[in-house]
Structure 1
């Protein structure tokens, strides 16, 4: 049975982080939805807080340190992506934007993406539609219809807010799982063959 790879990117800055909690909840819900359809699933979580220095160095030098390079490769090779950001000044975090700035701008083409955010007020939920969704549409990803926002009222165990959050998570995870099948094969066909190192290309040109 072929394994589908789901990568979860958490842009939370704190420890503990509500963004990480929501990321874990969405990753597990997506795994359940896919395995309910007999699709074996591997879920990998990338915590951007741990890569902050590497991301900054990449922006300055143009080269990704090994840990960041592995994270970027995981995202590019995923069958689906879940991205969770805290809300800062009415938008997603600068760290999250910087991570996707150093990712190849064709890496997410046709990839199913679920977007989510956490914040201190329900008013901040609009960020998902006016800021975060346009980012991934620009990157030519396929963004699921249901975006998930979690505020302070959504974290009380057994509360009405927590139940409503679980419903939103399940609905969004189901939409993402539904996109995964049929998309993986398309993305494999679209991926270009690995190019030769520059030195080998130069040697070929000089040898003509």
Structure 2
């Protein structure tokens, strides 16, 4: 049975978090649908509230701490992502966008992503589509058509379950199809790999996206000359 990993990225700050609860419901439904296709899946979670200090520090210094590096590695190895955020003041939580800001642009190429959000009012129902969808379009993900938003009054409404079911069908279909590997292996050279991202599929050439430490920029960054050493000036 094929094994897949779904990673939940939750920006909820309360305990328990409604954003996490919504993501968990979608993840479980997706796992059930995958099992029917003989695809085994497990769920891993990145709780951004526990990484808030490291995210802020990385935003300023550009250097992620140990916990944040591990979270980025986990995300890079995911077969699919469920993005979950609360809505504050008609917008996505700053903690969530700050986390996305520290990711390499090529980390999530062609990964299936489900968008979920929670808020206190139905007035914010378009936040996932208006704010989260363009963000993940920039990251070049395969964002599923149905975004799921839950206001306070939605939790007892059967319509929320129907939206979750619809989103799970879409997410499971993309995961089971293996579309990420097909896209990445076939088009890796066509992307801009700013941070030698880990989005490439298993079996792809490990040199794709590797950093060129002999470039002019990298020689300058390490205190050397912008020109490669010649036989006359090479003291090594």
What is the TM-score of this pair, normalised by structure 1?
0.88
**Uncovered stretches (5+) of structure 1, i.e. residues with no partner:** none
Provide the secondary structure at the position in 2 that maps to 1:103: coil
Q: Tell me if 1:186 matches 2:174.
A: no
Q: How far is the alpha carbon of 1:154 from its aligned partner?
A: 2.2
Question: Following superposition, which runs of at least 4 residues in structure 1 exceed 4 angstroms of deviation?
Answer: 196-199, 205-208
Q: Tell me if 1:135 matches 2:130.
A: no
After superposition, the Cα gap between the structure-2 partners of 1:42 and 1:188, relative to the gap in structure 1 and judged at 3 Å, is: farther
1:173 matched to which residue of 2? 168
Instruction: Supply the distance in 2 between the matched residues of 1:207 and 1:36 (Cα, whole angstroms).
Output: 62
Q: How far is the alpha carbon of 1:185 from its aligned partner?
A: 2.1
1:29 matched to which residue of 2? 29
2:153 matched to which residue of 1? 153
1:53 matched to which residue of 2? 53
After superposition, the Cα gap between the structure-2 partners of 1:206 and 1:83, relative to the gap in structure 1 and judged at 3 Å, is: same
The superposition leaves residues 99-145 of structure 1 with CA deviations (integer Å, 9 ceiling, x where unpaired) of 11111111111111100100011111111121111111111111111
| Structure having the larger proportion of residues in helix | 1
Instruction: Supply the distance in 2 between the matched residues of 1:176 and 1:198 (Cα, whole angstroms).
Output: 38
Instruction: Supply the distance in 1 between the matched residues of 2:41 and 2:18 (Cα, whole angstroms).
Output: 24
Instruction: Supply the distance in 2 between the matched residues of 1:108 and 1:22 (Cα, whole angstroms).
Output: 22
Q: How far is the alpha carbon of 1:196 from its aligned partner?
A: 6.5
Instruction: Supply the distance in 1 between the matched residues of 2:171 and 2:46 (Cα, whole angstroms).
Output: 18
Instruction: Supply the distance in 2 between the matched residues of 1:115 and 1:171 (Cα, whole angstroms).
Output: 12
Conserved in 2, the CA contact under 8 Å of 1:108 and 1:139? yes
After superposition, the Cα gap between the structure-2 partners of 1:126 and 1:61, relative to the gap in structure 1 and judged at 3 Å, is: same
Provide the secondary structure at the position in 2 that maps to 1:145: coil
Provide the secondary structure at the position in 1 that maps to 2:5: strand
What is the TM-score of this pair, normalised by structure 2?
0.78
**Uncovered stretches (5+) of structure 2, i.e. residues with no partner:** 189-199, 220-227, 232-236
2:196 matched to which residue of 1? none
Q: How does 1:62-77 map to 2 (within 5 A)?
A: 62-77=62-77
Number of corresponding residues: 201
Instruction: Supply the distance in 2 between the matched residues of 1:187 and 1:104 (Cα, whole angstroms).
Output: 18
Q: How far is the alpha carbon of 1:198 from its aligned partner?
A: 4.9
1:42 matched to which residue of 2? 42
Name the larger-Rg structure.
2
Instruction: Supply the distance in 2 between the matched residues of 1:188 and 1:172 (Cα, whole angstroms).
Output: 24
